Structure 1
Amino acid sequence: MLFSYTYVPHSIEKMQEYVDFIFYEVWCNAPTSEYGIELFENNADLKNVVEELWRHDLAGKPKKSAQFFLNGLNNIFNEFKGLTHSDITQFKIWYESNNDIEKCCRNDQTISPIKYEKLKIKFEKLTEELENFFKNLYSENFLSLDLIEKNIGTKKDYYSKFVLINNEDICPFCGITLLDGKYDQARDAYDHYLPKSLYPFNSINFKNLPPACNACNSKYKLANDPIDINGFARRAFYPFSNIPYKLDFKIIFSPANWNDYAPNDITISVGPVDYANEISTWFDVYAIEDRYKSLMCKKNAGKYWITQLQNWINRGRKVDEFFRELAESESDSPYADFNFLKKPFLEACYQSGLFIKDYDNGAWTGKN
């Protein structure tokens, strides 16, 4: 990704804290406990939530959007009850691993993330219950319940505070699409970076929920896995990394026809080499190469940039002045007007001889 977000603490993190308590204090103690409200005694807020849901259920007025929650608490407890001590120890390792998103992205060998498909091999029924619980845990219907909102707040409120700090206003996963910001009524979606369809335990962990534009989230990434490809672990950018970095774009452009160039005429390479693995994953998961090449071929992007430089030349101004100003703009505001791509693209055009060709009646006619 082009840049990392700054993580912004918020009360909505309490839902993950509830899940931590449920996992460690309720489910993992199942072999030596009986299921009941007393298991939630050491977490007053969570106990109140569970008690209120139970009251509605007993009164014949269940909160339908919370049925998965009540059923899941009990059903998963019963499945954990039959686990051995070594099984539970292993589940704790998996749980901690899946929630350490930064180490997952680094492909840290000290952790062992688990997917549903692997978990299901030995724990089929338990895996089904976990899938139902964690996939529904993030649902809007559940999180918008009054008793949930009053305890943890809302995703919308979290987003409004998030964009005050993270105010680039551009999707860091593509650099193409503007994100909704503090002046917009709507908000962009949170993306499950480790997809909730693949990984248990982290569907409500907001360190796994960076905002992303609709194109990145719903058209390109979908359920693509940033830390695993065909069973092989890989490194990925961590969306909330506090280690600064800057990507360096190099472009080679050699079109056969300047009037009708196409993506195949463009070659993109990105550094630095220290991030080669992360960049490779980023390109794969978000189809970055295809999207950037397409952008450089569009009338109101790449082709307009060419026109801007040609107009500069036609006015008798020096090319080096244009690139000096463009370099300053790229340094000050790399994501405005796609400067991070515009600069290397126009440099490639110039190096390929485009601006030393005759220009006659709107068509490039050949080198001088």
Structure 2
Amino acid sequence: MIKSYKFIETTHSKLHKNVIAFFDRIENETGVYSSSFFDKDFYNKIVKHHPNILEEPLKKIHNELRTWLQKDRTDFCEKIRMSNDIKKICNREVVPTLLNNTPDKLKAIIKKLFYDLYVQVLSGDNVKNEYGSLQQHFEEFKSPNKIFKCPTCGLMPSKSKTERKDDYDHYLAKDKFPFSSVNFRNLVPICTDCNSSNVKGNRDVLKINGKRKIFYPFDETHTGIKVECQLNNDNDNVKEDDLDFSFEYTTDDNRNEEIESWKVIFKIDDRYKKRSKGKAQSWYQHYWQFISKPKYKGLDINLKKELYKDFCLTDPDIEFIKLPVIKAVEKSSFAKALLESKLYSMEFNH
């Protein structure tokens, strides 16, 4: 993640907390199913209004678990708890339980239960009335999180709290890691491109990056990623449509594992290369027009560059790689001459 979010505790988290509390309760229960296994308000206002998609599967799970040895029941419930410690999972301190690793008798029930929790219960009228809608959560969440570009890629605009919410990405895909399907520490607002099927989609982020750590989206100690760019084909045959850029990424606290994971999960290098190739000319033109303004005539060129940098850094909508790409062109010889000759020509013809 280029930037991390600040986690905001809202009433919406109560759905997840009450479901986990149910498993905490039945860990040591060997008696028959009872509505007393739930918080009273949660049962009366949520559970009993979803008898088929919520209460019935939870009842079936309890009836199965009560036949197990205590050690096995505790082990199962502990796996559920660990599967929801998203921070430790990202740090590779604990391993979440995959759906395929759950007992066969429970697999289908758990898959449907936690899918329905997100798709039907969380968006249902009873949860909306009691805890609020996902749109209301987004509005509360975005108030202190004034991030104007997608914090994952830094390319696409991030929605404001007054717009229809961004996509909520299941950082750990719900069809593979069902136990955190309504855990808001696993629900991350990101742009449509990052969440698309040809980028992250529902891929297993813990599998595709080997055993490296991954960024925890709500890690407030994360100070952000820095990027350097270079032009790879600066020669006398270079054409503006064929500019080839590459990127290097660093953090102040050497999060190299997380960076490598981020690059793989969100196909960062490929997306940045395509974006820079398509935008380099217009970005450099914007830069050129800025430093060529008559009001800056007579100013030292380095001061003009600093003014442009400050101008961009105060623009919340600037794309993450814009300044590094301009800097790479500035360092080049042939590409810079090519673009500037076209800009001179445009000004002359104008």
Please state whether the residue corresponding to 1:113 is helix, strand or coil: coil
Q: Deviations over 1:149-170 (max 9, x none)?
A: 2322221111111111112222
1: distance between equivalents of 2:341 and 2:314?
36
2: distance between equivalents of 1:96 and 1:90?
10
2: distance between equivalents of 1:332 and 1:190?
28
Quote the offset at 1:288 in angstroms. Answer: 1.1
Aligned twin of 2:44: 48
1: distance between equivalents of 2:62 and 2:216?
33
Q: Deviations over 1:159-212 (max 9, x none)?
A: 11111111222210111111221332x111211111101113111110111111
Please state whether the residue corresponding to 1:204 is helix, strand or coil: coil
Aligned twin of 2:317: 336
Quote the offset at 1:287 in angstroms. Answer: 1.1
Q: Could you tell me which amino acid in structure 1 is paired with residue 110 of structure 2?
A: L
The answer as to 2:202 corresponding to 1:223 is yes
**8 Å contact kept, 1:2–1:172:** yes
Q: Deviations over 1:312-341 (max 9, x none)?
A: 5666775423431233245545x5322x41
Quote the offset at 1:363 in angstroms. Answer: 9.5
Aligned twin of 1:166: 145
2: distance between equivalents of 1:212 and 1:37?
38
Distance 1:336 1:192, change over 3 A: same
Bigger drift between 211-220 and 350-359 goes to 350-359
Aligned twin of 1:19: 19
Unaligned segments of structure 2, at least 5 residues:
346-350
Aligned twin of 2:217: 239
- 5 Å-filtered alignment, 1:289-328, equals 289-298=269-278, 301-311=279-289, 319-328=301-310
1: distance between equivalents of 2:85 and 2:196?
24
- 5 Å-filtered alignment, 1:32-181, equals 32-40=30-38, 43-49=39-45, 52-53=48-49, 67-108=52-93, 111-119=94-102, 123-139=103-119, 141-181=120-160
Percent identity (aligned): 26
Q: Could you tell me which amino acid in structure 2 is paired with residue 343 of structure 1?
A: L
**8 Å contact kept, 2:47–2:55:** no
Aligned residues: 336
Q: Could you tell me which amino acid in structure 1 is paired with residue 40 of structure 2?
A: A
Quote the offset at 1:129 in angstroms. Answer: 1.2
Q: Provide the TM-score with structure 1 as the length reference.
A: 0.83
The answer as to 2:325 corresponding to 1:345 is yes
Q: Could you tell me which amino acid in structure 1 is paired with residue 207 of structure 2?
A: D
Unaligned segments of structure 1, at least 5 residues:
54-62
Q: Could you tell me which amino acid in structure 2 is paired with residue 199 of structure 1?
A: F
Distance 1:311 1:118, change over 3 A: same
The answer as to 2:184 corresponding to 1:213 is no
**8 Å contact kept, 2:240–2:338:** no
2: distance between equivalents of 1:23 and 1:302?
54
1: distance between equivalents of 2:242 and 2:270?
11
Q: Provide the TM-score with structure 2 as the length reference.
A: 0.87
CA RMSD of aligned residues (A): 2.5
Please state whether the residue corresponding to 1:182 is helix, strand or coil: coil
Aligned twin of 2:28: 29
Q: Could you tell me which amino acid in structure 2 is paired with residue 172 of structure 1?
A: P
Quote the offset at 1:39 in angstroms. Answer: 2.9
Aligned twin of 1:10: 10
2: distance between equivalents of 1:50 and 1:173?
34
Please state whether the residue corresponding to 2:230 is helix, strand or coil: strand
**8 Å contact kept, 2:7–2:185:** yes
Distance 1:289 1:235, change over 3 A: same
Quote the offset at 1:311 in angstroms. Answer: 3.8
Structure holding more helix per residue: 1
The answer as to 2:165 corresponding to 1:183 is no
